[in-house]
């Protein structure tokens, strides 16, 4: 093989092996509210707030607070992910299109919404299963919140009644946002 071709192959192999590793709590793909598959690895290096939502719940007004958090802290690295679930009291009976319309028209939600999914132990999506293992807590009702740190390896759990703009939630978000994003160039095989 010619030396130039060998160097090109070596450079290509090096660039492929230096690809960032997806953090374990984000190493999932889920369908968004429009049915498109989204790889959560794209949120690596961000502080991620995961909330199981419902349109007909006493906590549904929390959409306003979640949007306010997204507006205020999004430029600093916060990402809010809404995952509608019908697991508690059948309070999310609508289709994905109806949920999207409800959120956008009623609460001007523009943070990421995902397709209706399960969050309880019996039918949890892979993200919620990983978050339950990481925190030792499963959602007991709608609007349970998980806050994932920038490394994507640790999470905090907040019960449904914790308002998104409560002092407790805001302090946790601000604290995690102060941590610098970690960029890894090691592959799984190198670790």
Q: Dump pLDDT digits (tens) for 79-113.
A: 999 999 999 999 999 999 999 999 999 999 999 99
In this structure, is residue 113 part of a structural domain? yes
In this structure, is residue 9 part of a structural domain? no
Residues 6+ apart with CB under 8 A from 140: 88, 159, 160
In this structure, is residue 27 part of a structural domain? yes
pLDDT of 86: 97
| pLDDT (mean) for 169-173 | 98
Is a pLDDT exceeding 90 seen at residue 188?
Answer: no
Checking DSSP bridges between strand 29-31 and strand 47-53, what pairing results, if any? unpaired
Question: What confidence tens digit (pLDDT) does each residue in 15-64 have?
Answer: 444 556 899 999 999 999 999 999 999 999 999 999 999 999 999 999 99
The domain that holds 172 is classified in CATH as: 3.40.30.10
For residue 51, which of 105, 93, 103 has the smallest C-alpha distance? 103
In this structure, is residue 59 part of a structural domain? yes
Assess contact for 153 and 24: CB atoms under 8 A: yes
In this structure, is residue 5 part of a structural domain? no
In this structure, is residue 15 part of a structural domain? no
pLDDT of 21: 86
For every residue of 6-24, DSSP letters joined together read HHHHHHHHHHHHTPPPPPG
pLDDT of 4: 53
**HSE, side-chain direction, 13 A CA sphere, residue 92:** 28
Tokens of 39: 């790889």
Assess contact for 59 and 159: CB atoms under 8 A: no
Integer-rounded Cα Rg, in Å, for the chain is 19
What domain range includes position 151? 22-179
Is a pLDDT exceeding 60 seen at residue 3?
Answer: no
pLDDT of 20: 65
Give the total number of structural domains in the chain.
Answer: 1
Is a pLDDT exceeding 50 seen at residue 8?
Answer: no
**What is the set of active-site residues?**
57
Q: Which residue has the higher pLDDT, 108 or 11?
A: 108
- Residue 50 phi, psi dihedral angles, 5° rounding: -105, 125
Residue spans of beta strands (DSSP E) within the chain: 29-31, 37-39, 47-53, 78-84, 112-113, 145-148, 155-158
Write down the mean pLDDT value for the chain: 89
pLDDT of 182: 62
Checking DSSP bridges between strand 155-158 and strand 112-113, what pairing results, if any? unpaired
User: CA dist 158 to 28, 83, 115, 161, Å?
Assistant: 21, 15, 22, 8
In this structure, is residue 14 part of a structural domain? no
Tokens of 106: 């009623």
Assess contact for 155 and 25: CB atoms under 8 A: yes
The pTM assigned to this predicted structure is 0.85
In this structure, is residue 108 part of a structural domain? yes
């Amino acid at each position: 093989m010619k030396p130039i071709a060998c160097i090109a192959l070596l450079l290509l192999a090096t660039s492929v092996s230096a690809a960032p590793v997806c953090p374990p709590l984000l190493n999932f793909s889920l369908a968004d509210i429009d049915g498109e598959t989204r790889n959560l690895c794209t949120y690596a290096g961000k502080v991620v707030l995961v909330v199981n939502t419902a349109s007909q719940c006493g906590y549904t007004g929390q959409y306003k607070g979640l949007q306010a958090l997204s507006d205020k802290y999004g430029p600093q690295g916060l990402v809010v992910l809404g995952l509608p679930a019908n697991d508690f009291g059948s309070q999310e009976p609508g289709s994905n299109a109806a949920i999207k319309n409800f959120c956008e028209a009623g609460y001007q939600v523009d943070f990421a919404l995902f397709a209706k999914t399960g969050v309880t132990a019996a039918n949890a999506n892979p993200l919620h299963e990983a978050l339950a293992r990481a925190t030792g807590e499963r959602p007991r009702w709608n609007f349970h919140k998980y806050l994932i740190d920038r490394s994507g390896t640790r999470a905090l759990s907040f019960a449904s009644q914790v308002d998104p703009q409560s002092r407790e939630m805001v302090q946790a978000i601000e604290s995690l946002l102060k941590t610098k994003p970690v960029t890894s160039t090691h592959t799984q095989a190198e670790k």
